[in-house]
Chains A and B, each alone.
Chain A
Amino acid sequence: AQSVTQLGSHVSVSEGALVLLRCNYSSSVPPYLFWYVQYPNQGLQLLLKYTTGATLVKGINGFEAEFKKSETSFHLTKPSAHMSDAAEYFCAVSVADRGSTLGRLYFGRGTQLTVWP
């Protein structure tokens, strides 16, 4: 089974400060990587994804993430936090199951981002 580790269940930053949300994964094959955001009482919304190609991926709302194979990481960053970024963020890994073409999405436990004025 795959695993996804998000370091820090809660992260607090001031408005305008750098946002860094950490994600590490374990996978024996090249994974597909995703970051989702969940606002209160809503479903999950895709921020960005990495499948192949350029390892620096840009997403919506000014977020970006870099796939580092050697570090098995896919950290999410945003140069300047905004109050509207307060939400829960989930890192996810998608791989095909061994011996199958069917794939599953494995989620980290989530990081709650608080933005202080």
Chain B
Amino acid sequence: NAGVTQTPKFRILKIGQSMTLQCTQDMNHNYMYWYRQDPGMGLKLIYYSVGAGITDKGEVPNGYNVSRSTTEDFPLRLELAAPSQTSVYFCASSYSLVYEQYFGPGTRLTVT
């Protein structure tokens, strides 16, 4: 099993551009999450999903959108990129609340 995969690994965007961060898991997990990690700030939840077609906002959803059309995929969309969105983005999945979350390797995004 590949676990949680994320693409791309690195990306540089200009202010105002848009992009989609891809996340795929092959563990048949219902729960999926997007976090951003900023130095010294830990991880902040952007959006999460408890199954195909069901998503909800986390702590810092502004400037992002998600969709969940399949169990496996949970893409994160950035519209009108801003420098404040420069961060490392992690996708994670879990079987349920009490089980561990499995993390992807991350996408390092720079907006200039």
Q: Are A108 and B45 in contact (CB under 8 A)?
A: no
Counting chain B CB atoms within 10 Å of each CB, the highest count among A4, A34, A105, A108 belongs to A105
CA distance A34 to B4 in the complex (A): 19
CA distance A110 to B104 in the complex (A): 18
- CB-CB under 8 A for A49 and B100, given A43-B105, A43-B106: yes
- CB-CB under 8 A for A94 and B41, given A43-B105, A44-B90: no
CA distance A90 to B103 in the complex (A): 13
| Dominant secondary structure at the A interface | strand
| Interface size, B (range) | 20 to 34
Contacts of A44 in B (CB 8 A): 43, 90, 92, 101, 103
Contacts of B42 in A (CB 8 A): 4, 90, 107-110
CA distance A102 to B106 in the complex (A): 24
A96 within 8 A of B: yes
Contact with B along A74-100 (1 / 0, CB 8 A): 000000000000000010001010000
CA distance A41 to B103 in the complex (A): 12
Contacts of A36 in B (CB 8 A): 103
CA distance A94 to B98 in the complex (A): 8
By beta carbon, the residue of chain B nearest A43 is: B103
Q: Are B97 and A34 in contact (CB under 8 A)?
A: no
CA distance A42 to B3 in the complex (A): 14
Q: Are B97 and A110 in contact (CB under 8 A)?
A: no
Interface residues of A in 1-31 (CB under 8 A from B): 4, 9
Q: Are A107 and B43 in contact (CB under 8 A)?
A: yes
Interface residues of chain B, those whose CB is within 8 Å of chain A, are 4, 33, 35, 40-45, 48, 50, 56, 58, 90, 92, 97-98, 100-101, 103-106
Interface residues of chain A, those whose CB is within 8 Å of chain B, are 4, 9, 32, 34, 36, 41-46, 49, 51, 90, 94, 96, 102-105, 107-110
Q: List 12 A-B contacts (CB under 8 A).
A: A9-B40, A36-B103, A43-B92, A43-B104, A44-B103, A94-B97, A103-B97, A104-B45, A104-B58, A105-B33, A105-B45, A108-B42
